[in-house]
Amino acid sequence: MQGYQLKIIIKNSKPPIWRRTAVPGDITFGQLHRVIQAVYGWKDSKPYIFEIPQKKIKIGPAEDQAIAPWLQNHKWIRYTYGSENAWEHRVEIEKEVDDALGYPRVDKYKGGNLPEDCGGIAGYYKLQEKGMAGEEEYSLEAVNQYLAEHLDFHKNSGASGETGEYTMAQWLMEAHPEELEELAELNHLASYKNLTKEELTVRLKELLLNEAHMSQLLLYAGADEYRVFLELTAGERGGRADLNFVYRSRLLRSCCILTRDTTLVVPEEVKALCRKIITPEFEAKHEEIETLRKYCSSASYLYGVTPVSLLTKLYNQYEGTRLTEEIMGTRCMELMNNGGTVTVINDSIVANELLEQDAYRMLLLLQGTKPYYIPPVRGLFLQYGVLYGEAPDQNGRELIRYVREELDAGQAQANSYFYEVQALIHKNYEMEDLIAAAAKYNITPGTKEQLAGLSERLRSVWNHTRRLGDRGYTPLELEILQKKTALSSGAGKPGPVQKSQKIYPNDPCPCGSGRKYKKCCGR
């Protein structure tokens, strides 16, 4: 099998710490990431990015693709693991080999495994000076055994002789135990921890080929994964899909075989079962659930926390139905229990991203008694859930133009910066955060005039961007609305003092940014 001999070196290590590793030629960058994690003993707990410095191209999890086109034409690439105090690796492509195994192996190495959370290579050397480095002795035999058992990317690929035909039973029998456990967890299989591999295989086959379970998988699959799955079931040879997309899909991971050339194949028993399940009535039910998913997504973008009563009102208003709050609440609960992106708490749907550190509670405090922005038409409301943002209006286009023409940014840089700015404003970040974000895209105002020009355009975008803290209103809309409310209630008349719960400096910021209040909206 064609493959590559790589020398993976930790940057700034003296003497160099490296692993000479052979890898199959048909793996992806996501799989190469797993290889590097294994050969260095990293914990896979931090973000990573590959870079092709010669082309100024970055490849992360969302852009996963085959390594071959890049490794064939470059002498080295960069792999960075972590963000702050990151571990940077230089991956040298030493040569192509014709005798690569189906799994990676380490042939030679220099240096042991380093403690991951010591502050990068600089932090490691500081610990070394104090005699506290904690380097682990490297076991070549143990590492290669792990690679063979856990990172054989072809062993469980689903290839069956020359035909590629696989039954569900064959696929499960040849899968690695860890893969079976992942499937069991993904499909909520009860009491699987103490089962033998043979017992787990039987239980999984029974579950995955159960008509009721398959119906649930199909019914609650998102529109894109549902479409891809139907295309696969209609074909004889399978098809391709982005690997990152596949790994995020419960339906595709549970019911498809991934072959060695990254082709997705649906077993014949699954195809037969799906033909039985998918009727016109089933399609209508799936469309109904998908519509509710869109409503939840749009409400999450605009409000973060949405009372079921409001969601019911919006749904009935736009769809011309008469659902009760009880029915809507039940449907939202079912969506939540089948992999939805919202959670039902106290008769409200909460965006899952706001669950960490109870950020949704702080958001409610920030929102106070502000009214909810209600888009005038259905299409406008639903577009927020599809785009999870807004296309540039005249203010956004002016920011993009200024950054491109006055600050010498490329079109792609300018566009990306605009959407970053929009996301930050939406999450209630401050103006200084918007300016600081420009550096991420190599956009630097070099003079006071340029900084003033950038700030002016950022302020315009700010005033016209919908914010979570303002329940979907833009700052300008909310200001106008509050003035109208003040006039209608009698200008100049003092209203009752509203008591609000105190937000302490070290509390999570209510905007959902994940930062402390004192370092975010409380500055």
For residue 240, the cross-strand partners are 263
Q: How far apart are CA 130 and CA 371, in angstroms?
A: 59
Residues 400 and 337 reside in one and the same domain: no
Query: Last residue of a domain, which of 465, 485, 507?
Result: 465
Looking at the domain assignment, is residue 508 inside a domain?
no
Are residues 401 and 362 part of one domain? no
**How far is C-alpha 4 from the chain's CA centre?**
30
List the end-to-end C-alpha distance of the chain, in Å, as a whole number: 58
521: in domain:
no
Q: What CATH number is attached to the domain comprising 345? A: 1.10.10
Residue ending a domain, choose from 278, 305, 325: 278
Q: What is the Cα–Cα distance from 416 to 421, expressed in whole angstroms?
A: 9
Both 289 and 407 in one domain: the answer is no
Does one domain contain both 72 and 123?
A: yes
- Which of the two residues, 158 and 345, has the higher pLDDT score? 345
Mean pLDDT on 344-360: 93
Is 201 part of any domain? yes
**pLDDT tens digits for 110-158?**
999 998 888 899 988 888 887 766 678 888 988 988 888 888 876 644 4
pLDDT at 492: 46
SS3 78: strand
Residue 243 scores a pLDDT above 80: no
- 432 lies in some domain: yes
Query: How many other CB atoms sit within 10 Å of the CB of residue 100?
Result: 20
Q: Report if residue 499 sits inside a domain.
A: no
404 vs 164: which has the higher pLDDT: 404
326 alpha-carbon distance from chain centroid: 32
CATH of the domain at 130: 3.10.290.30
- Is 474 inside any structural domain? no
Q: Out of 193-207, 219-233, 234-248, which region has the weakest mean confidence (pLDDT)? A: 234-248
Q: How would residue 523 be classed by pLDDT, with cut points 50, 70 and 90?
A: low
Instruction: Mark whether 63 and 184 lie in a shared domain.
Output: no
Domain count across the chain: 4
Residue 430 belongs to some domain of the structure: yes
d(CA 282, CA 218): 9
- Mean pLDDT along residues 274-284: 94
Mean pLDDT over all residues of the chain?
Answer: 86
- Say whether both 66 and 93 belong to one domain: yes
Considering the domain architecture, whether residues 421 and 345 belong to the same structural domain is answered as no
The C-alpha atoms of residue 49 and residue 80 are separated, in whole angstroms, by 5
| Residue-by-residue DSSP string for 376-445 | SSHHHHHHHHHHSS----HHHHHHHHHHHHTS---HHHHHHHHHHHHHHHHTT--HHHHHHHGGGGT---
Asked whether 498 and 368 are in contact (CB, 8 A), the reply is yes
User: How many CB atoms lie under 10 A from the CB of residue 348?
Assistant: 22
Residue 243 tokens read as 């690997």
**Residues 196 and 204 sit within 8 Å (Cβ to Cβ):** no
Asked if 268 and 291 sit in the same domain, the reply is no
Q: How many residues does the chain have?
A: 523
Q: Is 142 in the same domain as 101?
A: yes
Q: What residue type is assigned to position 1 of the chain?
A: M
Residues 268 and 321 in one domain: no
Sorting pLDDT into bands at 50, 70 and 90, what band is 493? very low
pLDDT tens profile 27-83: 889 899 999 999 999 988 889 999 998 878 888 887 778 898 888 888 999 999 988
Range of the domain at 174: 168-278
- Nearest 5 degrees, angle CA 106-CA 104-CA 116? 65
Residues 132 and 52 in one domain: yes
Give the domain-ending residue among 465, 494, 512.
Answer: 465
The percentage of the chain sitting over the pLDDT mark of 90, rounded to a whole number, equals: 54
Q: How far is 365 from 375, CA to CA, in rounded Å?
A: 23
> 495 with 506: CB under 8 angstroms?
no
* 48-59 pLDDT, tens digit each: 999 998 878 888
Mean pLDDT of 149-178: 66
Same domain? For 47 and 144 the reply is: yes
Q: Does residue 491 belong to any structural domain of this protein? A: no
